[in-house]
Structure 1
Amino acid sequence: MPLEIVTVPCRSDNYAYLIHGDAGTYLVDAPEAEPIIAALEGRDWGLDAILITHHHADHVDGLSELREKYSPRVMGPRKEEAKLPPLTDPLEEGDHDGTGNMEFEVIEVPGHTLGHIAFHFPKAKAAFTADSLMALGCGRVFEGTPEMMWESLSKLAALPPETVIYSGHEYTQANARFALTIEPENEELKSRAEAIAQARAEDRPTAQVPLSEELSTNPFLRASDPALKRAVGMQDATDSQVFAEVRTRKDRF
């Protein structure tokens, strides 16, 4: 069965994702139930498992209603189990699940929260990163440290470049405006920002993008690049120090 990934807009700017293939239907994050149920019913799909990335309310608020309606497995970070609704399958770094084209592995990506995880589907060339790596950005460092977040982003940056990154919010246009303050001469970034503006004018989502594009345009992934270090005047700083500076600038932007 070919794999199908459906982007489901939720709340004001969240995304949930339905993944339909050999193992049935999975959902990544549950910001609210109603649009997810509508997307499932419109395709005549059930729901076999919910994959939770982290404990924040805007990623789990729809979980109870979906659990009651579909009785799915609920999988999420073991390190945040005490902060989450009951999990059937607590997960940690290196765990694998799923079958066929829906096989996935768990990557721990702390920083935004201490237990945040991402789900990498290698056969599908897809990674669901929620509020860790985001399109042209990354999540705020609420619970971890900049060093921790940089290490997490570096793990994701090492995935195959053709991997499509599915992140958790429609923040891309604002992220592009900020990225251009860091690298105003980056031609790929300027071109991408124009394409994002056009997509948003047409109400098309932009938080789903190949990792290769992120590597060439996302300042939070480029903290090790000499060109970006020069751009922020930190040629001799460590990569994590440069990342921390970029993150601080974004927090104030």
Structure 2
Amino acid sequence: MMDSEPVNAIANATTILTCGDNYTYICLCGERCAFVVDPTDAAMVLRVLDERRLTLTAALLTHHHADHTAGLAELKSATGCQVVGPDARRIVGIDRLVRDGDTIELGDRTTEVLATPGHTRTSVCYYLPASPNAGPGSVFTGDTLFVGGCGRPLECDAHVLWASLQRLAALPEETLVWCGHDYTAENYEFALTIEPDNQAVRERLNEIRRAAAEGRPSVPSTIACEKATNVFLRAGDSTVRAAVGVGDANSERTFAELRRRKNLFG
């Protein structure tokens, strides 16, 4: 098991935990209540719950991969939390199986389930709309959308992942993006191999490097920021198509070529 200390960062009542390059999130959902997203390390989560005297009511899983579910059994045993996820066959211990369009009541927050296949066949994201008490909305994207990047299409063709990314890009622009891994610097370094003269991407990379040097996480981003600087979300832009050299190819083909090149890059 990877080990790291939690990052002391709370935004919109969301506590960020880092475990290697994995991100896990503990989110307040009422007085002294919280839910967790993709618990990699149970001990880290339990320590924060104890320090903040919180009761864990639910664990939300974006997909079945072990680096997102490794702490699940211990957390459920220790807290009795409800386990919510999209794949009962490959996630042991699910109490509530969710599908696209489902809503989950988590204390004073309502979460909408968005099916986002691509990285896996059953990947989902969890969207919490904006509210007067909690501020801008949040979306927990697992390995579908990263800051500056996207996941590998492991169980689907690239066009399936592209469609899922377009669904996320349609969320309100102020929506906070909380992803499953910190591959951010590498993602922007790759983007500069496609558009070396893109000043917005270069500035974003410098910003991310400064944050890392100061011990700050790369999350949250926003949908607006991702639409402006994430080369994968910009596969439909004529400048990206020209840089990739696919001519008049459609966005799906451009995206597939970007993803192929990123696989080779790292």
Q: What TM-score, normalized to structure 2?
A: 0.90
Question: What residue number does 1:226 align with?
Answer: 238
Encode CA deviations 1:94-149: one digit per residue, 9 max, x unaligned. Answer: 00012575111000111111100000001251000010000101111111110100
What per-residue deviation string (whole Å, max 9, x for no partner) do you get for residues 194-229 of structure 1?
A: 011111111211032011111011011011111111
Q: Percent identity?
A: 39
Quick one: which of 190, 193, 205 aligns to 1:181? Answer: 193
CA distance in 2 between partners of 1:26 and 1:86 (Å): 16
CA pair 218-101 structure 1, distance change in 2 beyond 3 A: farther
Residues 91 and 106 in structure 1, CA contact (< 8 A), matched pair in contact too = yes
Matches within 5 A, 1:30-179: 30-77=39-86, 80-98=87-105, 101-123=108-130, 124-179=136-191
Distance 2:15 2:246 in 1: 41
**Gaps in structure 1 of 5+ consecutive residues:** none
Residue equivalent to 2:222:
210
Taking the aligned partners of 1:110 and 1:207, their CA distance within structure 2 comes to 22
Alignment of 1:190-209 (within 5 A): 190-209=202-221
Contact 1:136/1:175 (CA < 8 Å) preserved in 2?
yes
Task: Give the AA of the match of 2:28.
Answer: H
In 1, distance between residues paired with 2:219 and 2:153?
19
Shift of 1:22: 2.8
Local SS of the residue matching 2:232: coil
More helix by share: 1
- The alignment yields a C-alpha RMSD, in angstroms, of 1.4
TM-score in terms of structure 1 length:
0.95
Residue aligning to 2:7: none
1:19 matches 2:27: yes
Matched letter for residue 188 of structure 1: A
* Total equivalences in the alignment: 249
